[in-house]
Amino acid sequence: MAADRTPGTALVTGASSGIGEEYAGRLAERGRNVVLVARRAERLDALARRLRRDSRVEVETLVADLARPADLARVAERAAGEDVDLVVNNAGINGYGPFAEVDPALLGKVLEVNVVAPTVLTRAAVPGMVRRGRGAVVNVASLLAFAGDLPPGPLPRRAVYGGTKGYVVTFSRTLAAELAGTGVRVQVVCPGLTATEFHLGTGEEPVAGEARVHDEGGMPAADVVTASLAALDDGEVVCVPGLPDAEAVARLSAAERGLRGGSGARVAPRYRTAGTGPD
């Protein structure tokens, strides 16, 4: 039986709406106890009541801002619990805007939530999982991790956000390889535009009021989670929910092997005359 279907506890960050809320509901349906983590207490409490009623599982709520070290430490302590065998690092904020104009404090918060928090929570949970010989970590990234030099419009201005999601992809893939054979799996999910409230703000403050969806549309959050859980059952490390061609990931790995061919001891010929021309 797949590890994510065994009785245990799943800790889900960013659980108050969208993809995180969908993960929480789906995992509870599978009989898992859940720990819900987010900034909005009212939404967490409402979700907890619904999950207890509909799925009859144990539900905990942790109101936390993962950009705050003290809050992150509390969540990490819970992630290290002996009952936690699945961590879903879903919380994220975007900080979109022209790099030279975005508030540096907001960019720092993007790094804390998108990079530091999943790293810390994964580090808290993995040693116990390895010791028990089972468990999984699911990290939610974005197809913007691969957007690179594509210009804004219709894509957002995303230098820092895209960079953080690139980190999540590389971190997850590398850690998955490191943990091969331990019984602990790592997956990174890279959805495209998703029908959530993510684009209703930069993330500096949580979106107020009832949950709603941004006008851009996109894939339903339920479909993103369906793809992720199916991929987790099948052992896929990189899950792109809307990608029909599964071989595209293999081609990415092949391209990376080609780039790593540049690790030789001699500089490439095209650089040997660089800098010798007139100023």
**278 within some domain:** no
Question: CATH no. for residue 88?
Answer: 3.40.50.720
Distance CA 66, CA 117 (A): 6
The confidence score (pLDDT) of residue 2 equals 43
* Residue 168 exposed, middle or buried by CB count within 10 Å (0-12, 13-18, 19+): buried
Per residue in 156-215, pLDDT (tens digit) is 999 999 999 999 999 999 999 999 999 999 999 999 999 887 766 555 656 555 555 556
**Terminal-to-terminal C-alpha distance of the chain:** 66
Residue 144 lies in a domain: yes
Q: Is residue 257 part of a domain?
A: yes
Note the pLDDT of residue 3: 43
Q: Would you state the pLDDT for residue 1?
A: 34
Q: Low-confidence residues of the chain, pLDDT below 50?
A: 1-5
279: in domain: no
Overall domain count for the chain: 1
What are the catalytic residues? Answer: 161
Within a domain: 77: yes
Q: Which domain holds residue 59?
A: 3-271
Q: Give, in degrees to the nearest 5, the angle at Cα 151 between 149 and 154.
A: 135
For the record, the structure tokens of 58 come out as 């144990």
> Does a structural domain hold residue 177?
yes
* Residue 50 within a domain: yes
3-state class (DSSP) for residue 113: helix
117 lies in a domain?
yes
Alpha carbon distance 186, 173 (integer Å):
7
pLDDT digits (tens, 9 = 90+) for 7-29: 699 999 999 999 999 999 999 99
Cβ contact 219:198 at 8 Å: no
Contact 21, 15 (CB under 8 A): yes
